[in-house]
Amino acid sequence: MIIAAVLWALVAALASGTRRRTDQSILYAAVMIAVSLTLNVDAVYRATDSLLTGHNYADLLANLLLLIGVYFLSRAILRASSRSRARSTEKPFLIGAIVSSCLTITAFQFVDAPWSSDSFMRDFGDQPAACAYSLIQFTYLGIVVAVTGSICLQFAGRMSTAARRSGFYIVGAGCCAAVLNVFSIVGMDLTHLFGPPHLLALFSSAYDVLNVASLVLLCIGLSLPPILGWANDRLERRRLQLILPDLNRIWDKVSAQRLELGRDSLSHTQGARRPDVDVAVHRTLVEIRDALLLEASAKDKLTDADLAILLGAETPTGARNTTE
C-alpha cells in the first residue's frame, strides 16, 4: 500500500511538469506502474479480480501493465540521457515488450488456478506454466532495466543541471537494485519448482528489501528534476517580482518619457502571475536597451549597481544554477 502511494505521488510530481516536457513517456510509465502496484494491494486485487470473472486476470493485468510501464520508463530515461542510444534500443525494447506480453498471456492460460488468489505465485508457483509465466516477464524486465541503468549512469555526469545529474545517478542506483530484485524473483520462481524450501525464504527476504529499495530510489530519482524545477520556477517568479521595480526605476533614468509600448499596463503587483511577470520584465528590458541604443549618453546615468541589476535580470535563475 505504501509503495503504491509513493508511485501515485510520483505521478502527481510528473503531472505538474507536463508543460515543460515534450515527451510524456515518463508520465505514461508512472501511471501504468502505479496502477500495477495498486492492483497488488489485496483489497484492490480481490475487488478487481471479481470484476474480471475471478480467475486471476487481475494478476495478469497487473503484470502486463508493469511490463509495458517499464518499457515506457526505459524509453523516457534513454531519450533524456542519449538520443542515439534511445534510437538504437527503442525498436528492440518495443519488440521485446510485445513478444514478452504475448508469451506471458499464453503461459497464463496454462496455469491451473481454480480460485482467485492475491498471492498468485505463492499458491500456484509450483506449476511449470506459472514459473514460465513469471520468468518470461521478469527476464524482459531485467534486461531492459540493466541496459537502462548502465546508460543512465554512463551519461549522468553530462546532464546540464545538478538536479538532473543527481536524478540520473539515483535512477541508475534504482535500476541496479531492480536488477538484483529480478534475480531474487527468478530465484523464487525456480525454487518453487525445484526447492529447497530454505532458499525460497532467503530469496523472499532479499525480494522484500530490494523491491522497496528499487522503487523508492526510482521514485526519488524521477521526481527530483520536476520537483526542483517547480521550486526553481517559484524562486524565479519571486526574483522577477522583486527586480521589476528596480527596472522601472532604471527605465525612468534612461528615458525622459514613456515609450508608447503600453508601459502603464506593465505595472506589477505582488500577486501577479508568473507569465505577467515574465512579460513585464522582458518588455521593460527591451525598452531600456532600446533607449540606450537610441541615446548612448543615457548609459552615463546608470550606476554600477544599475548595470548589475540589468545583467541579473537577463540571467534566469535556472541558467545561474546550471553549473552548480
Output 122 or 318, whichever has higher pLDDT.
122
Out of 173-182, 289-298, 305-314, the most confident range is: 173-182
DSSP 111-150: ----S--SSHHHHHTTSHHHHHHHHHHHHHHHHHHHHHHH
Output 296 or 56, whichever has higher pLDDT.
56
Burial of 37 (0-12, 13-18, 19+ CB in 10 A): buried
Output the nine-digit C-alpha cell for 305: 549597481
Q: What is the pLDDT of residue 228?
A: 81
Q: What is the pLDDT of residue 162?
A: 81
- If you average pLDDT over every residue of the chain, what do you get? 83
Chain segment 61-105, per-residue pLDDT in tens:
999 999 999 999 998 888 888 888 888 888 999 999 999 999 999
Confidence of residue 256 (pLDDT cuts 50, 70, 90): low
Burial of 260 (0-12, 13-18, 19+ CB in 10 A): exposed
Residue 97: Cβ within 10 Å count: 23
Q: What is the pLDDT of residue 149?
A: 92
Residue 265: Cβ within 10 Å count: 10
Omega before 196 cis (within 30°)? yes
